[in-house]
Structure 1
Amino acid sequence: MAFTEHPLRRELVHEMHLRRFAPVDAPSRLVQMVFLIGEDQREAEQALLSSPPLTPLSSKHETRHAVFEFPGDVTMLWERQTEATTITLISSETNSEGMIPLLEWLGGWPGAVLRATKLFVVGSESNAEQLLPGMGFETADLVSCHVCGGVRVWSDFRIREDGYGRLLVAAQDRQPDDLGRIVQRLQELGNYRNLALFGLPPVQRLMPELNALEARLAKHAQALADDDAERDDEDLLRDLSKVSAELARLRSENSYRTSASQAYAQIAADRLDALDVRPIDGFQSLTDFPERRLVPATRTIETFTNRLRRLSERSGDAIALLNTRIDTRIKAQNLELLRSMESSFNLQLRLQNLVEALSVIAASYYAVALIAYVAKGVDAFGKEDHVVDIIIALAAPLVILTIFLLVSRIRHRFIRETETAVHRSGKGQAARAMIDHKKGL
């Protein structure tokens, strides 16, 4: 190539060609099964695809899609989705017995079946009318309508004794490729409908738990608003934290399922729009049936998700408000403590000044006494009278002043060193207050 190709280009183009459905002739028989498969079961699934017990005539096997051609004009389509696998068997009406060995083989497929349907495709509505009595449809639940410009479908969306649902399709002279796409849309509508409803039972089971958590949160919020002095804020914070943790657990355990259900419901709605449903008088249509149950189920899941999100936000707001109140009380207590420390510092400073003054007097007294001893020693050598008294009188003020200046210098040096350490650490309001008082004194 004369250009640099993006590494994702071929993967994106390949993605557009996935979900291919084989052509469907009329009359024909189809069986489709949707398996929910965990990631730990994917390896076993790949092993079955790589070495099936029935040797196909030909196969086109890809990472997420495979087509197998078996003897007896039977085609098997395999498609892998995010959390499910869809397997479809297609055969002509005369060779439908060839699917029996494959159906027995699929009984050992990993995972659990979420939907299993048998489709009967005929060429015209008159042919379909002949098959209707033997289909066993419930008249009260029968859905029948035209789709895609004339193709008529019948089903009651019930599970029969053999574990399969039934769907009857009158092709009305459609070409095989076109009919294959219509059948694919019909099946995807049912598959995504079931996948969307898959999130409803967990939500219904969790509703009482969510109601209880909402009641507990309302009770704690009321206690926070009442500001009951007898209620310990620490206990209230602990209770709110427990409620918040329970809500977080519910969100983490169910967020994927609820989000997936909403996405599947949207895809089902898109498939329904693509079918261009036209109702028939006296029957429910494919539009009426999903709206009767799928739409309420989807709204229930959406309501649960919104309630869970709002309760999580409310619990977070309550915890933040309670933390603010606790911080305010702690700051008030710290202020009272600083005030008591300030009073103590003032008393200590006064005592310290008194001790310093007394120390100056005591040091001066001993210094003068030493000078007096020296002077008396000089007087012992026979010098003039009163010299000793003169020296003592002159030395006493000088000694007192010197000692005072020395003590003051030591004190100011200590204050500067302490102030530097306080500013470096960025802490110690009480220490700054002590330094300011010392400077003032």
Structure 2
Amino acid sequence: MEQMVNQHGLKMHPMRQALYSELHSRPFQVIPSPARITHIAVMCNAEQSAQQFEHLKELYSFYGVTPPEKDELCYHVDFDELRVRREKHMEFTTYTFINTGIEQGGNPFEQTGLSPLPEGWLAKIPGTVISAFHVAVEDARQTDELNLPLVKRFFEGMRMVGSSPQDGDARVWTTFQMHSDGFGRFLIYNKQMSDSQLGRLTQRLMEIETYRLMALLSLPTAREINPTLGDMDQKLADITDHLAHGSDINEQQLLAKLTDMASWVEDCRARATFRFSATYAYHDLVITRLEELREDEVSGHLTITEFMTRRLTPAVKTCRATSNRLEDLSRRIDRVADMMRTRVELSIQSQNQELLASMDQRSQIQLMMQHTVEGLSVAAISYYTIGLIKYLLEAAYNSGVDLNKDLLLGISVPIVIGLVAFLTRKIHKRFLKMATDQSKKNDPESKGKR
């Protein structure tokens, strides 16, 4: 990226404008009362995210609006009485549909934010829906708030969670359950909030519901891992006890068991580490949004914060405990494996020492045999050499040379034996020196000294 220079000649960081834009990329919406809102979170990969952008363009075409050319983190568009907002997150994309063309009264969930959408468009969104719920906003400043039995009927008789957020400026009802249409439901009575304040409250509620579902994604994984994790923990304890008190230990067999256990633990960590980390992050976001609600209690009902504390926090603690147990088991397996490797190495060293001692003993025997063979070789070579000298002396004597062949032959015997012994010893020393030089040449410590 090119470096920018402002009017004062200051060199600007190339990411400066992007950093400013990031802070304002997801503004709070301004929501009037009454309104019907539907919020959907769709999990998707990079390919599906690109397909979603093309799918969004179809909605622009349906309403006769020029579609955007470039995909962005957050899109907000008004189609007459329908507002559509699409936000891209790390793991999912959210769609918020706000229907402002409704009249207050009757069943607040009879019309939803999806009502103005063209038929069949919603079903073609690429990806998998993780969160989907309706939010009905009623204006309590114009009409009285409905009594609880009637409100409960809108939630199909399910157990209610009630809250008076923003110091009582609104009343929120929900169940945190799916209803007969497959959607969750929130009912907001606006008592004295402005459209901007209502938009912030609604955004926080939508994020709480979405993030708490994303946080719970790792709970099935934790429940799947935990039983086997307990078995692995017991097996490792048995192996450790056997190492500490057992007499007949098969190192190879125990190492094979430890390797299998380590493979299982690493497989679980590979599958679960990211999901567990995401759970902690989403849980922190939920807690932050709950604190921002500034709730007051509705008599006889759990508040949203109390409900989340009682239901979501234990699930997150379960995931955290499972993650910690995986890490602890991995470390313990590594320690036991190190102990086993140490035992194996000591055993190998002991075997090597015995082997070296045995080789040294054999070398001594071979050396003694070599000396014996050398002595026999000297005798044999001397015998044949003296025999040759005898033939020479006889040939010279028969040719008329005047010599005492017996005396000369007797004198040659010690000379030949001494000469053969000397040459044999010299040859032996030469080969020994060659072997020593070759050994020093191959020794890395000797190379370092040189």
Give the TM bin, normalised by the shorter chain: 0.7 to 0.9
* Match 1:88 to one of 91, 96, 103: 96
Match in the other structure for 1:34: 41
Contact 2:170–2:189 (CA under 8 A) maintained in structure 1: yes
- Structure 1 pair 126/219, CA: closer, same or farther in 2 (3 Å)? farther
1:398 aligns with 2:415: yes
1:424 aligns with 2:441: yes
Q: CA deviation at 1:157?
A: 2.0
Q: Secondary structure at the match of 1:34?
A: strand
* Match 1:414 to one of 407, 431, 441: 431
Match in the other structure for 2:204: 185
Q: Which amino acid aligns with 2:36?
A: R
- CA distance in 1 between counterparts of 2:285 and 2:442 reads 61
Q: Secondary structure at the match of 2:421?
A: helix
Match in the other structure for 1:112: 128
Match in the other structure for 1:262: 280
Q: Which amino acid aligns with 2:89?
A: Q
Match in the other structure for 1:309: 327
Which runs of 5 or more residues in structure 2 are unaligned? 104-110, 445-450
Contact 1:58–1:68 (CA under 8 A) maintained in structure 2: no
Aligned residues: 424
Q: CA deviation at 1:299?
A: 0.3
1:144 aligns with 2:163: yes
Which range moves more in the overlay, 146-155 or 317-326?
146-155
* Structural mapping, 1:10-409, within 5 Å: 10-52=17-59, 54-55=62-63, 57=65, 62-71=71-80, 73-92=81-100, 94=102, 99-102=114-117, 104=119, 105-124=121-140, 127=143, 129-130=145-146, 133-134=150-151, 136=153, 137=155, 140-147=159-166, 150-229=169-248, 231-380=249-398, 386=404, 388-409=405-426
Q: Aligned residues: percent identity?
A: 29
Q: Which amino acid aligns with 2:370?
A: Q
- Structure 1 pair 122/101, CA: closer, same or farther in 2 (3 Å)? closer
- CA distance in 2 between counterparts of 1:206 and 1:217 reads 16
Q: Secondary structure at the match of 1:199?
A: helix
Q: CA RMSD in A?
A: 2.8
Q: Which amino acid aligns with 1:69?
A: D
**For each residue in 1:207-256, what CA deviation from the matched residue of structure 2 results, as whole angstroms up to 9, or x when unmatched?**
22222222222233333333342x53222221221111111111111222
Q: Which amino acid aligns with 1:70?
A: F
- CA distance in 1 between counterparts of 2:66 and 2:29 reads 14
- CA distance in 1 between counterparts of 2:258 and 2:171 reads 58
Which range moves more in the overlay, 295-304 or 232-241?
232-241
Q: CA deviation at 1:269?
A: 1.3
**For each residue in 1:84-130, what CA deviation from the matched residue of structure 2 results, as whole angstroms up to 9, or x when unmatched?**
11111113253767841427431332223222222222344784623
- CA distance in 1 between counterparts of 2:25 and 2:37 reads 20
Contact 2:169–2:193 (CA under 8 A) maintained in structure 1: no
Q: Secondary structure at the match of 2:165?
A: strand
Contact 2:112–2:136 (CA under 8 A) maintained in structure 1: no
Match in the other structure for 2:447: none
Q: CA deviation at 1:145?
A: 2.5
Match in the other structure for 1:437: none
**For each residue in 1:289-341, what CA deviation from the matched residue of structure 2 results, as whole angstroms up to 9, or x when unmatched?**
11101110110000000111111122222222112212221221121111111
Q: Secondary structure at the match of 2:131?
A: strand
- CA distance in 1 between counterparts of 2:118 and 2:331 reads 50
Contact 1:59–1:69 (CA under 8 A) maintained in structure 2: no
Contact 1:146–1:280 (CA under 8 A) maintained in structure 2: no
- CA distance in 2 between counterparts of 1:326 and 1:223 reads 15
Q: CA deviation at 1:48?
A: 0.4
Q: Secondary structure at the match of 2:129?
A: strand
Q: Which amino acid aligns with 2:55?
A: L
- CA distance in 1 between counterparts of 2:86 and 2:418 reads 106
Match in the other structure for 1:431: none
Q: CA deviation at 1:281?
A: 4.3
Which range moves more in the overlay, 99-108 or 319-328?
99-108
- CA distance in 2 between counterparts of 1:127 and 1:200 reads 43
Q: Which amino acid aligns with 1:173?
A: Q
Which runs of 5 or more residues in structure 1 are unaligned? 428-441
- Structure 1 pair 383/206, CA: closer, same or farther in 2 (3 Å)? closer
- Structure 1 pair 149/49, CA: closer, same or farther in 2 (3 Å)? same
- Structure 1 pair 310/82, CA: closer, same or farther in 2 (3 Å)? same
Q: Secondary structure at the match of 1:51?
A: helix
Contact 2:38–2:112 (CA under 8 A) maintained in structure 1: no
- CA distance in 2 between counterparts of 1:97 and 1:227 reads 70
- Structure 1 pair 98/396, CA: closer, same or farther in 2 (3 Å)? closer
Which range moves more in the overlay, 193-202 or 276-285?
276-285
Q: Which amino acid aligns with 2:257?
A: D
